[in-house]
Structures are given as structure tokens and as C-alpha cells.
């Protein structure tokens, strides 16, 4: 996905011109994948761009940093203000927001502790992650031969950069085989998640998703969807899932910040079907909330104008 060039990037408290936001090639985070990040979206609303579940994302980033023993030299409020500021000055209606905490240049070797921690935040418009047609009509998923990392390999609730080698290996295989997205199984052979999404099925009217103890990221979108479902009296079951549960689902979908809510129309060529009523209902609620059209859920939005 080519990144459109914006005016400014935030680096350690300074607004830097887009093309000057550079680091040294001997940066240890580049060599060892030792960094933590978030993916956040700001949506166009009548009151200007609004960031969905901003604090939840930033809090997760601090938890990721805590696990990696990285001390982020800014407060959550400072990082949130950095994102709001970038959304205000880069002149777009909607954005993907990417904060990253990484190590500084100076040390090399596998002990990250002597390296200073730096933070950058960048924003740019990012359209439908799995395509507009994917959101409308569903995507074809393939179960990966790559196993999802387990919590004793790298903590799975941690959005660490290096973890994404696992996701990317799965993504490559799925795309090369002609599918849109991969679904990874955990070390027990049960369903974990997509390369960058949580996965849900609907079975006999019940919304089912694996619990985080299955080694999946506690997705902010996943939490929001569970919340919307609860409020809409859709029964929920967070239980381990087998691939059989995917193949025989009444409905299935992915959730993620980049992906949003994407129906899954088939898994390993077993047809699930066009987007079903529960998927549609949850998509409708989600897109209405993020566009600022649901007063009940307005607390989930951080309006960058501050009003």
C-alpha cells in the first residue's frame, strides 16, 4: 500500500517535515524488530476528524512497551495530543494513525536495555484495507500453514513489531495462493486470528470469537464489536474455535482498525455465503458510530478539534 505523502510527522515532541523523518541504518529496532506500535483510525464526522477509541489504543501501546521493558518518555496524554495535532495540520478528513516506540541509535546487540526509547507518530489516509469490495461483499480466507506465535514465544497481546514477521509470512502465502487474507491457528491447532484482524463467526444466532487466552490480540475493534453486540442483545460466546467452526459458520467476519469489519465469504473454499444479517447489523452500527452518528457511543470518539 503506497503511503501518500503528508506534511508533518511527530518525532519525540517535534513536528518534522515528512521527508526529514529519518533514522540511522544501524538502529537496533530495524535489526531486531524491537519496537511497539499501534494502528488507530480517525474518521470524518460533521465535527471534523474524530479518533476512534483513542485512549484504548494508546493504553495498549503502553502495555506493549511495559512487556518489552521500554519506558516511553512521553505520557499517554502527550501522545494523544500528538495524534490530534497531526490530524489537524495534515489537512485530511480521515486518517490512519501510526505511533511507534523504537530504540535509538548508539548500541547494537541483543540487550535492548542500554538503548534510549524514541517515539514517532505519523498519519495518512488509508482506504479499505481488504478492499471496498471486501467490506461490501466479503473476502476469501485461507487457513495458514504458519502457526500463530504463542504467548511463550512472544507475548501475543503485545503489538511488537517483530511479531509481524509471523503475520506477514501467513499473508504472503494466502495472497500468492489467490486468497485475500490468512487465518492462523494457534499451537493447539485452534483458530487464533487473521494476519492483522480478529475473527468472529455467527452460529445459530450466537456471536462467537476465540478468547484472548487462545493467543489473539485483544483487538480494540473486537472489544467494540462485542460491546455493540451486547447492547443489541446479540448473544456472545468467547470460546475456543476449531477450523470446523469456520467451515460450517452461518456467518464469519474479521475485525481490525485497518480492516474495520470485513465479512468472510469462504474459508479454504468452503462457502460461508454473502454477508449475513448479524454481520450487516454490526457493520451498520460500527460505521454509524465512527462517523459520529450515534450519540450513545459518542464517548468512543476523540474529536481532534477539541470541540
Residues that bind ligand PPE (CB under 6 A): 39, 167, 193, 196-198, 217, 219-222, 255-259
Closest CB 193 distance from ligand PPE, rounded Å: 5
87 near 96, Cβ under 8 Å? no
Minimum CB distance to ligand PPE smaller for 256 or for 275: 256
**22 belongs to the catalytic site:** no
161 near 33, Cβ under 8 Å? yes
206 near 237, Cβ under 8 Å? yes
Minimum CB distance to ligand PPE smaller for 99 or for 138: 99
Minimum CB distance to ligand PPE smaller for 49 or for 115: 49
Minimum CB distance to ligand PPE smaller for 115 or for 260: 260
270 near 138, Cβ under 8 Å? no
Closest CB 101 distance from ligand PPE, rounded Å: 15
Minimum CB distance to ligand PPE smaller for 39 or for 263: 39
Which residue's CB atom is positioned nearest to ligand PPE?
39
Other CB atoms within 10 A of residue 257 CB: 21
Q: Which helix (H) or strand (E) holds 101?
A: strand 95-103
Indicate the DSSP class of residue 149. P
Closest CB 38 distance from ligand PPE, rounded Å: 7
Query: Cα separations (Å) of 107 from 2, 100, 111, 306?
Result: 31, 19, 9, 40
Given 8, 159, 171, 265, the catalytic residue: 159
Strands 14-17 and 50-52, by their bridges, are: unpaired
Closest CB 21 distance from ligand PPE, rounded Å: 18
Handedness of CA 59, 60, 65, 66 (dihedral sign): positive
36 near 163, Cβ under 8 Å? no
Closest CB 89 distance from ligand PPE, rounded Å: 22
141: Cβ contacts below 8 Å, ≥ 6 apart? 174, 179, 180, 181, 182, 183, 194, 246, 252, 254, 264, 266, 267, 268
Q: Which residues are catalytic?
A: 159
Amino acid at each position: 500500500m503506497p503511503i501518500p505523502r503528508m506534511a508533518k510527522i511527530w518525532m519525540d515532541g517535534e513536528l518534522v517535515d515528512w521527508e526529514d523523518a529519518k533514522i540511522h541504518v544501524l538502529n537496533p529496532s530495524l535489526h531486531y524488530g524491537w519496537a511497539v506500535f499501534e494502528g488507530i483510525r480517525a474518521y470524518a464526522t460533521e465535527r471534523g476528524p474524530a479518533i476512534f477509541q483513542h485512549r484504548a489504543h494508546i493504553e495498549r501501546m503502553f502495555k506493549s512497551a511495559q512487556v518489552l521493558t521500554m519506558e516511553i518518555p512521553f505520557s499517554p496524554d502527550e501522545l494523544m495530543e500528538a495524534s490530534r495535532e497531526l490530524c489537524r495540520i495534515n489537512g485530511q478528513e480521515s486518517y490512519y494513525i501510526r505511533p511507534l516506540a523504537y530504540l535509538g541509535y548508539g548500541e547494537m546487540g541483543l540487550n535492548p536495555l542500554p538503548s534510549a526509547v524514541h517515539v514517532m507518530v505519523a498519519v495518512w489516509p488509508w482506504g479499505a484495507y481488504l478492499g471496498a469490495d471486501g467490506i461490501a461483499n466479503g473476502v476469501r480466507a485461507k487457513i495458514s500453514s504458519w502457526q500463530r506465535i504463542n504467548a511463550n514465544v512472544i507475548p501475543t497481546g503485545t503489538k511488537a513489531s517483530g511479531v509481524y514477521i509471523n503475520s506477514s509470512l501467513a499473508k504472503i502465502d494466502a495472497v500468492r495462493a489467490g486468497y485475500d487474507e490468512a487465518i492462523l491457528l494457534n499451537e493447539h491447532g485452534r483458530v487464533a486470528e487473521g494476519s492483522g484482524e480478529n475473527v468472529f463467526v455467527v452460529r445459530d444466532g450466537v456471536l462467537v470469537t476465540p478468547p484472548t487466552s487462545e493467543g489473539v490480540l485483544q483487538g480494540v475493534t473486537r472489544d467494540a464489536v462485542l460491546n455493540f453486540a451486547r447492547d443489541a442483545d446479540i448473544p456472545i460466546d468467547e470460546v475456543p474455535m476449531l477450523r470446523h467452526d469456520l467451515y460450517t459458520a452461518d456467518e464469519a467476519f474479521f475485525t481490525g482498525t485497518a480492516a474495520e469489519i470485513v465479512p468472510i465469504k469462504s474459508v479454504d473454499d468452503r462457502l460461508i455465503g454473502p454477508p449475513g444479517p448479524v454481520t450487516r447489523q454490526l457493520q451498520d452500527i460500527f460505521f454509524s458510530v465512527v462517523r459520529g452518528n450515534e450519540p450513545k457511543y459518542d464517548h468512543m470518539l476523540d474529536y481532534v478539534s477539541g470541540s
